[in-house]
Amino acid sequence: MTTDIADKSIVSQAKQMETNTHEAPLCKHCRKASLNRIHRGSFVRTYLFFLPLKRYICYRCHRKTYRWSKRQEA
Give the separation between CA 74 and CA 67, rounded to whole angstroms: 21
Give the separation between CA 35 and CA 25, rounded to whole angstroms: 6
pLDDT band at 7 (very low <50, low <70, confident <90, very high): low
Give the residues across from 36 on adjacent strands.
Answer: 57
pLDDT computed for residue 17 by the predictor: 52
Q: Name the residue among 40, 41, 44, 36 with its Cα closest to residue 61.
A: 36
Average pLDDT over residues 13-19: 54
Could you tell me the residue range of the domain that residue 37 belongs to? 2-68
The answer to whether residue 58 is domain-embedded is yes
The answer to whether residue 6 is domain-embedded is yes
Tell me what the pLDDT averaged over the chain comes to: 77
* Total domains present in the chain: 1
pTM of the model: 0.58
The answer to whether residue 50 is domain-embedded is yes
Average pLDDT over residues 30-46: 89
Which region among 31-35, 38-42, 64-68 has the lowest average model confidence (pLDDT)? 31-35
3-state secondary structure of 54: strand
Give the separation between CA 19 and CA 45, rounded to whole angstroms: 28
